[in-house]
Amino acid sequence: MKVIAFNGSPRKEWNTATLLKKALEGAASQGAQTEFVQLYELDYQGCISCFACKEKGGESYGRCVVQDDLKPVFDRIEKADALIFGSPIYLGNITGQTQSFLERLLFPYLAYTDPPESLFPKKIPTGFIYTMGMTEELMNQFGYRQRFAGMEGSLSRIFGSSETLLSFDTCQFEDYAKMVAPRFDPAEKLKRRREVFPEDCRKAIGMGIRLAGGKQD
Summarised one tens digit per residue, pLDDT across range 94-138 is 999 999 999 999 999 999 998 889 999 999 999 999 999 988 999
pLDDT single digits (tens) 53-62? 999 888 889 9
Predicted local confidence at residue 22, as pLDDT:
97
pLDDT digits (tens, 9 = 90+) for 192-216: 888 999 999 999 999 999 999 856 5
Q: pTM for the whole thing?
A: 0.92
Q: How large is the average pLDDT for residues 142-162?
A: 93
Q: What is the mean pLDDT of residues 137-152?
A: 92
186 and 177 in contact (C-beta within 8 Å)?
A: yes
At 58 the pLDDT is 82
Average pLDDT over residues 37-53: 96
Return all residues near 215 (Cβ < 8 A) that are at least 6 apart: 209
Percentage of the chain exceeding pLDDT 70: 98
- Kind and range of the H or E run holding 136: helix 136-141
2-211: what fold? Rossmann fold (3.40.50)
In whole angstroms, give the CA distance from residue 99 to residue 207: 22
Confidence of residue 217 (pLDDT cuts 50, 70, 90): very low
| Secondary structure (3-state) at 61 | coil
At 161 the three-state DSSP class reads strand
What mean pLDDT do residues 18-24 have? 97
What percentage of the chain reaches a pLDDT higher than 90? 77
Q: What is the DSSP code (8-state) at residue 115? A: S
Q: Which residues, listed in sequence order, are joined to residue 165 by a DSSP beta bridge?
A: 129
| Cis omega (within 30 of 0) for bond into 115 | yes
